[in-house]
Amino acid sequence: MLQPDRIVPTTCPYCGVGCTLELHLKNDTAYGGFIYKVTSPFDSPVNHGNLCVKGRFGYDFIYSPKRVTTPLIRKTPQKPGARTQAFDRDEWREATWDEALDLVADRLVDIYRRDGSDAMAVYCCAKATNEDNYLLQKMYRALFRTNNVDHCTRLCHAASVVALLKSLGTTAMSNTAAEVIHNDVFIVTGSNTTENHPIIALHMKEAIQKHGAKLIVIDPRRIELCDLATLYLPLQPGTNVVVFSAMAHVIVKEGLVNRAFVEARTTGYDEFVASLEKFTPEYAESISGVDRNLIIEAARLYATAKNGAIYWGMGISQLSTGTASALGLIHLALLTGHIGRLGTGLNPLRGQNNVQGASDMGAMPFHYPGYMPVDVEENALKWEAAWHIEPGGLSRKRGLTTTEILANAKPGGVRALYIMGENPMMTEPNLNVTRHHMAQLEFIVAQDIFINESCAFADVFLPATPFAEKDGTFTNTDRRVQRVRQAIAPRGQSRPDYEIICDLALRIEKRLGRPNTARWNYEEPEEIFREMANVVTMFKGVTYDRIQKLGLQYPVPDEAHPGTPFLFAESFPAGRGRFFSLEHVPAAEPTDDEYPFILTTGRLLEHWHGGTMTRHSQLDALFPQAFVDVHEIDAAQLALKTGDMVRVSSRRGSIVLRVNVSTKTSPGVVFIPMHFVEAAANLLTIDTLDPQARIPEFKACAVNIQVAREGEFAPVEEMTVRGRK
């Protein structure tokens, strides 16, 4: 058996579970050697030695020959409006770091001086470390004086964040995922947990099979967990609010409310109860398609539990009614008092490895680090002092969100965009419009490990390092801050993100004539984290020494504090939990005779997000092409069988892919995964936004399905950046 020369503990770079990894290296010298195997220690509190296929085998993308490890500059600068997506190496030339960073600094400063703060925007990255994200938002706020800072949380759980802030004054999971074994009843909704958060799904299965917990699944698709569920409520996409409100209606009408909890810890109850009158189970059935008796049973089961909990995913948040959907779940917990105790809670399962951390670090247009609103004077003054900026120097104006940044890419709007590790050309809705917006930008910088669909638009490419070639921290969906450790040296000339940002910030600062305004000379990532934690009190007790082996769950207010596995034992950050009156608002685009099917999108076990990492891994061979799940009843009517090629079209675009005949979806609902550039689901999705969270409606739009004509095949012409067949 091959023995490693060195084993490096670190944290998984994929989903928000945050599993502990052990990277096994052979032929090791100082940061040399080769990672040949990944395991996990059994004493990890997150995953107890378990890993999914991505965590165990998906590390090899770091060795892909397609990695770009030298700075690149486009030979002929592209003009706004004429910018193209084609990536031809003949159009680019290799450059030194000094040349590339000088060019970026010159162009960004020129545009800032000419057009001001509103012309500048940046996408931070949920795949990067806390330290990387803190520095990038700091650079744009401190130097360019703009809050046009966002990342993929806008396309992920923004609605959950807004709802939690509105009602409770918080933003994250209230409990620890592994606490599910202490539930006697739990709800899973809008989450295909076994594929998207497989290790959390193992905890859920243990809760049911070993501890007797009862599961309620509420989802348009018959996910694997339905096989273990006591109740399955198959609702139509976009009808969450009526189903959750009908459950609340039953809880109130049948006297199942925890009156002591409601009176002591909530506000707005009487107005809320009055608003529930219309949400009868019968009404909910007529809208959602869920049998009224199932709604009644689910409400009774959850309300009468000793320890009830709710776990949800992007099937709740990625709707134009996402905030209202999340509020509907919050109401259920407040009505029953299933919050503030071990084995209860409100638990949005975060999608990317550090989407929680990037949000915590202020990578959002409305908040500084620690969710301190940018338009509150006291907060701005704190960060001006921390960053040595003159009083009044930071902008008090809320910035543009991810979707708004590109929509404002025009003269008089956003002119320069810095993209660290994100791929809007795969993750934004209505990609043909996104492509048009990208083309309008005057200057684009891409900082990444591969040339993805968005990097192909860039003027300058800055090669960064993946997780195994850098140090720092990630924060998982449990609010657990964990170490990321460098195991091998950066390949080629690639550099850790924080080093690139610091080097660039020094150049920008000098050109702006603001020397030493904010500190940019850090010797190691821990210094960056301490700077942030000196202002954000919930991280004050988190130090690298304390998380060498096990992470800490914030809030950790001082270095004697053990961390906080569950929140709200005595109070909510907002004081009292607040009820809100809700209304049913239909999905933005109903079906009709021309577009008779509802499309919903999501992820697969073998792949992750926009595919930038997994599709450069051996994982791609496990699931190499896109498909559309069609219910067997619909397939019979269309005379389709598994493997047939079809064209799926919406009012925005069209893709060609294979059919998978299935009973996973409901009749009238089809499912397409989001990972495949050859048949990009987001060419079809609608760009209608939640009015509060500004998150797009990825989970519901109208499509039609036609048998592909002979000669038609994926990939669709517009989306061939990687040239895959």
622-646 pLDDT, tens digit per residue, is 999 999 999 999 999 999 999 999 9
Pick the CATH number of 597-719 from 2.40.40.20, 1.10.3660.10, 3.30.390.30, 3.40.50.1860: 2.40.40.20
Mean pLDDT of the chain: 93
Average pLDDT over residues 30-44: 89
Mean pLDDT of the region 691-710:
93
Helical residues (DSSP H) of 47-90, grouped into ranges: 53-57
pLDDT in tens, 246-256: 999 999 999 99
pLDDT at 724 over 50: no
CATH fold of 6-63 reads N-terminal domain of TfIIb (2.20.25)
Q: Rounded CA gap, 295 and 292, in Å? A: 5
Residue 271, burial from CB neighbour count under 10 angstroms (0-12, 13-18, 19+):
exposed
Cβ neighbours, 10 Å, residue 720: 16
Is 577's pLDDT higher than 70?
yes
Q: Is the pLDDT of residue 47 over 70?
A: yes
Supply the pLDDT for residue 486: 96
Distance CA 358, CA 150 (A): 9
Cα 426 from Cα 270, distance rounded (Å) = 44
The H-assigned helical ranges of 450-514 are 497-511
Given a cut of 80, whether residue 716 has pLDDT beyond it is no
Listed in sequence order, the residues at least 6 apart from 709 whose beta carbon sits closer than 8 Å to its beta carbon are 647
H helices of 210-313, in order, are 240-253, 259-265, 269-275, 281-288, 292-303
* E strand or H helix at 233: strand 231-233
Single out the residue of 14, 6, 26 nearest to residue 51, CA to CA. Answer: 14
Query: Which residues sit opposite 37 in a β-bridge?
Result: 24
Q: Please report which confidence band the pLDDT of residue 676 belongs to, taking 50, 70 and 90 as the band edges.
A: very high
The backbone region for 312, taken as left when phi is positive above 0, alpha when psi lies in -120 to 50, beta otherwise, is: beta
**Tell me: the pLDDT tens digits for 491-508?**
999 999 999 999 999 999
pLDDT (0 to 100) of residue 382: 97
pTM: 0.94
Domain 72-155+354-553 class in CATH: alpha beta
* pLDDT computed for residue 711 by the predictor: 66
User: Confidence band (pLDDT; 50, 70, 90) for 105?
Assistant: very high
Pairing of strands 367-368, 72-74: unpaired
The per-residue pLDDT for 540 is 97
Given a contact cutoff of 8 angstroms between Cβ atoms, the answer to whether 185 and 308 are in contact is yes
Structure tokens at 613: 């990492």
Instruction: Report the alpha-carbon distance of residue 706 to residue 702 in Å, rounded.
Output: 14
Q: How far is CA 78 from the centre of its chain?
A: 31
What pLDDT digit, counting tens, does each position of 408-445 carry? 999 999 999 999 999 999 999 999 999 999 999 999 99
Q: Which of 605, 625, 487 is nearest to 63 (CA)?
A: 487
Decide if 11 contacts 19 (C-beta within 8 A): yes
The yes-or-no answer to whether 6-63 and 72-155+354-553 have a common fold is no
pLDDT value of residue 39: 97
- Going by the DSSP 8-state scheme, the letter that residue 240 receives in this structure is H
pLDDT in tens, 170-200: 888 999 999 999 999 999 999 999 999 999 9
d(CA 690, CA 302): 28
- The Cα–Cα gap between 612 and 423 comes to 8
Domain covering 158-348, topology: Dimethylsulfoxide Reductase; domain 2 (3.40.228)
Residue pLDDT, tens place only, 450-485 = 999 999 999 999 999 999 999 999 999 999 999 999
Report the C-alpha gap between 703 and 685 in whole angstroms. Answer: 9
Give the H/E segment covering residue 100: helix 97-115
Give the model's pLDDT for residue 157: 87
The answer, yes or no, to whether residue 348 has pLDDT greater than 50, is yes
- pLDDT value for 519: 84
β-pairing verdict for 627-631 and 669-673 = antiparallel
Task: Tell me the per-residue pLDDT of 531-566, one tens digit each, with 9 for 90 and over.
Answer: 999 999 999 999 999 999 999 999 999 999 999 999
Q: How far apart are CA 657 and CA 712, in angstroms?
A: 10
pLDDT of residue 609: 80
pLDDT tens, position by position, 127-162: 999 999 999 999 999 999 999 999 988 888 889 999
CB 348 within 8 A of CB 695: no
Distance of CA 489 to the CA centre of its chain: 28
Q: Give the model confidence (pLDDT) of 355-396 as tens digits.
A: 999 999 999 999 999 999 999 999 999 999 999 999 999 999
Tell me the one-letter amino acid at 472: G
Predicted confidence band of residue 87 (pLDDT cuts 50, 70, 90): low
Q: Where are the domains of the chain?
A: 6-63, 72-155+354-553, 158-348, 597-719
